[in-house]
Amino acid sequence: MRAEDICQLVLRTCKSQGVSDVVVSVAQSEGLMVRFSNNEITTVNALSDVTASIFVNDNGRKAGANAADLSKKGLEKAAKKVVEMAKRAPAAPTYAPLPQGPFTYDPKLLGGGQVQTDPKVLVPYVKLAIDAAQREGAQRVAGSLVSDNGKLTIQTSNGAFGVMKRSAIELSLRAFCSETASGHSVSVAGKEADFRPAEAGTEAGRLAKMSLGASDGEPGEYEAVLGPLLFADLVNQVGRASSAFSVEAGLSFLADKVGQRVASECVGIVDDPTLEGTYGSMPFDAEGLPTRRNAIIDGGVLKGYLHNSTTAKKFGTATTANAGLVAPRPFNLVVEPGQRSLEDLISSVERGIYVTNNWYLRYQNYQTGDFSTIPRDAMFLIEGGKLVRPIKELRISDNLLRMFSSIKDVAKERGWVRWWEVEVPTLCPAALVGKVRFTKSKR
């Protein structure tokens, strides 16, 4: 059954049960995953999936589900079940109807592109990355490459209808010179022309070799240069905290701070799904509204929260076209660049630490922004503006508001980051932070 036919069938079924607010979306994807370990390809899997999602809002009583059976009978059954769930659900205190369509979407964001999903093309990409890492001195390389071509169709009971095609290719790899000497890099692109597997391999291999012979670092408060992988994770925390749902749920360190300075003047962060050909480009949100560029932080000042129709009504403002039907979300985070290179940032540090990557960021307090995370892969002590030796066994234990307010500068070079720790695609530079608290790692 065509995606358009699925949408129309589910809408008719839900409306026949007496509800007016219905959203149906059908996501289709065809792709390939290549996994590799110890410099060898270990798995090549074709990826194919079709998912139909149903969301109902019956005057504030909400329910949603995915339909596993996409036959006519299965879809009708799933639609009726979602309506029954909604009618039994408690009514939310605020009800906002879906935006009234139809809408016109930016045609540049609808067409998407095509990336290769042929193993004969993708496996050589992986080999390029592995070879590049080995040329830099890596003994072994591991990671994954995922390539995907997708199509998303959405239709709402209030007249919104859109069809978009999207493509994405992403490589994440770690290079090792020993068990404790590793480097991580990624290449993330919305179109194949922007994909750089050899550059990612070179960076990972270079960092791995540089981190040979690491000794334990000393806990303390340091000036720190945060590489793009780590800084992108922190920017993702800002993106999540800027969701009005997070604010309302008491899970945001940005609550009650609109119009206030929450970062240094050099920090600018926007959510921009209108960037053509990027991983997170999106013509419409989950309510069918045309997306737009939304500033989150400008010159260090929090400009506003991300909203869907319901949260906008609660906050007495307009939607920012960032639905998520339950929780508004960012699509494509972009950090404004600085004027200096990464090397310039490092050379400006008299004594500090350069951290290239992290994992397992955890909050001690969501409302204040107290958190900790473990530096992963290459990390270096800086003295006199130079990387003097690799270090290990430290943990960052700090506060996000404090760190963002301590940022001295960001680099001019930016790259797209998305991997396990960075869910929202983020165009990100390195950052120089004046004060970062490092404690002893308990791994």
Cα first-last separation, the chain: 51
The pLDDT of residue 441 is 84
Q: Is residue 87 pLDDT above 90, yes or no?
A: yes
Domain check: are 275 and 404 in the same one? yes
Domain end (from 209, 244, 268): 209
Strands 333-335 and 422-428: parallel
For the segment 223-246, the average pLDDT, to the nearest whole number, is 98
Percent of the chain with pLDDT over 70: 100
Same domain as 225, residue 99: no
- The count of domains in the chain is 2
Asked whether residue 341 falls in the same domain as residue 404, the answer is yes
Cα 111 to Cα 277: distance, rounded to the nearest angstrom: 9
Question: Which pLDDT does position 443 carry in this prediction?
Answer: 53
Instruction: Say which residues have a Cβ less than 8 Å from residue 181's Cβ, sequence separation at least 6.
Output: 208, 209, 211, 212, 213, 214, 378, 390
Alpha carbons 224 and 155: distance in angstroms, whole number: 48
pLDDT at 61 over 70: yes
Where a domain ends, among 161, 189, 209? 209
- How high is the mean pLDDT of the chain? 97
257 and 133 within one domain: no
113: confidence class by pLDDT, cuts 50, 70, 90: confident
* pLDDT exceeds cutoff 60 at 353: yes
The predicted pLDDT at position 404 comes to 98
φ and ψ at residue 314, rounded to 5 degrees: -60, -40
Query: Given this model, what pLDDT does residue 316 score?
Result: 97
Report the percentage of the chain scoring pLDDT > 90: 97
- What pLDDT, on a 0 to 100 scale, did the predictor assign at position 111? 86
In this prediction, residue 86 carries a pLDDT of 96
CA dihedral 8, 9, 13, 18 (to 10 degrees): 0
Scored b (16 or more CB within 10 A) or e, 351-385 reads ebbbbbbbbebeeeebeebbbbbbbbbbbbbbeeb
Task: Check whether residue 16 and residue 154 sit in a common domain.
Answer: yes
Does 22 share its domain with 76?
yes
User: C-alpha dihedral over 263, 265, 269, 275, to 10 degrees?
Assistant: 180
Mean pLDDT of 292-318: 97
pLDDT tens, residue by residue, 260-283: 999 999 999 999 999 999 999 999
CATH number, position 38: 3.30.2290.10
Taking 90 as the threshold, does the pLDDT of residue 82 lie above it?
yes
Residues 228, 182 share a domain: no
CA distance 66 to 217: 48
User: Is there a single domain that holds both residue 397 and residue 252?
Assistant: yes
What's the pLDDT score for residue 442?
66
Q: Which of residues 193, 209, 225 is at a domain's end?
A: 209
Specify whether 242 is located in the same domain as 193: no
Q: Identify whether residues 85 and 130 lie together within a single domain.
A: yes
Q: What is the pLDDT of residue 425?
A: 98
Whether residue 295 is predicted with pLDDT greater than 60 in this model: the reply is yes
Task: State mean pLDDT over 111-128.
Answer: 93
The pLDDT of 291-310, averaged and rounded, is: 98
247-252 own/partner pairs: CB under 8 Å, 24+ apart = 247/305, 248/311, 248/314, 250/366, 250/367, 251/366, 251/367, 252/366, 252/367
Confidence of residue 355 (pLDDT cuts 50, 70, 90): very high
Bond prior to 375 in cis (omega within 30° of 0):
no
User: Looking at the predicted structure, is the pLDDT value of residue 218 above 90?
Assistant: yes
Q: Which domain holds residue 50?
A: 3-209
Q: Are residues 146 and 25 in the same domain?
A: yes
Phi, psi (deg, nearest 5) at residue 119:
-55, -30
Are 193 and 218 in a shared domain? no
Give tens-digit pLDDT for 132-168.
999 999 999 999 999 999 999 999 999 999 999 999 9
